[in-house]
Amino acid sequence: MEKKRIYFDHAATTPVRREALEKMLPYFSEVFGNANSQHMFGRDAVKAVDEARDTVARIINAKPSEIYFTSGGTESDNWALRGTAHARRDKGRHLIVSSIEHPAMIATAKQLEKDGFDVTYLPVDETGTVSPESVRNAIRDDTVFIGVMTANNEVGTIQPVKEIAAIAKEKKITMFTDAVQAAGVLKLDVKELGVDMMSFSGHKFYGPKGVGVLYVKSGVKIDPVMTGGHQERMKRGGTTNVPAIVGMAEAFRLADEEREKNAAYVTALRDRFIAGVEARIPDVKLNGHRVNRLPANADFSFRYIEGESILFHLDLAGIAVSSGSACSSGSLEPSHVLLAMGVPEETAHGSIRFTFGTDNTAEEVDYAVDVLAETVKKLRAMSPLFKQFEGEKQYV
């Protein structure tokens, strides 16, 4: 029997779709010019980048001059936060970010604290949602930045960005949203959301890795972080990654075109999976908001057992998932997102994220539920935490 290879980790990365790849290929060896060169080779490269910029701008309802290409989500997040903190330091030194931001934001905020900035980390409720009221309460006279992600990468909870952005606008504070998990999945209109900055990354929507976007509304102050050449209107140094930008724009265009169809497809898979797990396995908890969540995301805590063990059992059965447990990341702390949501540490250790894609099938979902039920049963049988609950809980 051929070994199964089932990929349920689309929030980590996605394969580059064929159309995007084909569009990229000429820009490696044929149209190889440096987009900064003035000669014809450079001009050919610029043309491709300009087209990509137009496409990206159109989809998020921005102007092409408001789109900056970067090396990905991490760079865009770093740039938005650090670039704003430095550009607006005369106005104030207070920054607000949610406690469930991606490490690209949290680690940058921690570093800025060392540099003398004050940071407020907003709490979330048990569904992983930031309340606009908590944002309002955190604002000080010297607040210059609010960063709340569009949707969380671990538990998939969609945030009330529009409401928070309205508060930021009223207080003249720069509003940023990390849309890395949402781009290509949710309809993102920067004007409707009312944000000043937005980040996203090509490889989350079947585009290439190593390329991303920072949208910066015209007139909003930001210092460069990647200093060097004249690229991206003097705002972001570094030789323009032409093939990656072309591939990302094509993948983004197709994701936008197919958005409703794809969302319906992965939502059906996700709901089938959630229903299967909840019917077959006792003592599980779906993390995140049951309704306001990304179509592809199902994040579960399996009580009394540890996430990495689950992950490897699934891996051995040909199913690739991601774990929120400390053990797989090499740190001792479990997921900061789950802890912020009030999930007890031992439960947080037993958490697994399943993220579905258009390349998955209902058969794969059913197989995964079977394997998962078996795995959880096996691991609980060897868990010292489980014994006290034996007899009380019935296995189905």
Partner 1 sequence: MYNEKVMKVFQNPKNVGEVENYDAIGTVGNASCGDIMQITLKIDNDVITDAKFKTFGCAAAIATSSTATEMIKGKTLDDALKITNRQVVEELEGLPPQKLHCSVLAEEAIRAAIEDYRKKQGA
Q: Which residues participate in catalysis according to the annotation?
A: 327
Among 116, 219, 330, 391, the residue binding partner 1 under the rule CB under 8 A is 330
- Which range, of 104-112, 140-148, 210-218, 320-328, touches partner 1 by CB under 8 A? 320-328
Q: How many residues does the chain have?
A: 396
Q: Quote the least distance from Cβ 365 to partner 1, whole Å.
A: 24
For the CB of residue 388, give the shortest distance to partner 1 in the complex, in Å.
Answer: 11
The residue within the footprint of partner 1, chosen from 271, 345, 366, 390 (CB under 8 A), is 345
- Contact pick of 73, 247, 334, 357 for partner 1 (by CB under 8 A): 334
Cβ proximity to partner 1: between 4 and 43 the closer is: 4
Binding flag, residue 308, partner 1 (CB under 8 A):
yes
Give whichever of 246 and 352 is closer to partner 1, judged by the CB atom: 352
Neighbours of 371 (CB within 10 A): 18
The 255-294 contact track toward partner 1, x by CB under 8 A, reads ----------------------------------------
Question: Which residue has tokens 């609950």?
Answer: 389
Selected binder of partner 1 within 44, 250, 256, 306 (CB under 8 A): 306
Give yes or no for residue 312 binding partner 1 (CB under 8 A). Answer: yes
Per CB under 8 A, the list member of 31, 268, 327, 373 interacting with partner 1 is: 327
Instruction: Compare residues 320 and 327 and give the one whose CB is closer to partner 1.
Output: 327
Minimum CB distance to partner 1 smaller for 66 or for 306? 306
The residue to which tokens 């399996």 are assigned: 302
**59 lies in the binding site for partner 1 (CB under 8 A):** no
Number of residues that bind partner 1 (CB under 8 A): 24
* CA 282 remoteness from chain centre: 29
Distances (CA, A) of 45 to 37, 48, 218, 232, 240: 9, 5, 25, 14, 9
Which listed residue (25, 234, 275, 316) binds partner 1 by CB under 8 A?
316
What is the distance of C-alpha 360 from the center of its chain? 20
User: Of 350-389, which residues contact partner 1 (CB under 8 A)?
Assistant: 381-385, 387
Secondary structure (3-state) at 207: coil
The residue range among 76-84, 149-157, 186-194, 343-351 that interacts with partner 1, by the rule CB under 8 A, is 343-351
Task: In angstroms, give the least distance from the CB of 98 to partner 1.
Answer: 24
**CB of 252 closer than 8 Å to CB of 218:** no
Our measurement of the distance from residue 243's CA atom to the centroid of its chain's CA atoms, rounded to an integer in Å, reads: 23
Distances (CA, A) of 173 to 65, 97, 303, 335: 21, 12, 42, 29
- Give the chain's count of helices (H) and strands (E): 16, 13
Give the 3-state secondary structure of residue 197: strand
Residue 292 to residue 158: CA distance in whole angstroms: 5
**Binding residues vs partner 1 (CB under 8 A):** 304-306, 308-309, 312-313, 316, 325-328, 330, 332, 334, 345-346, 349, 381-385, 387
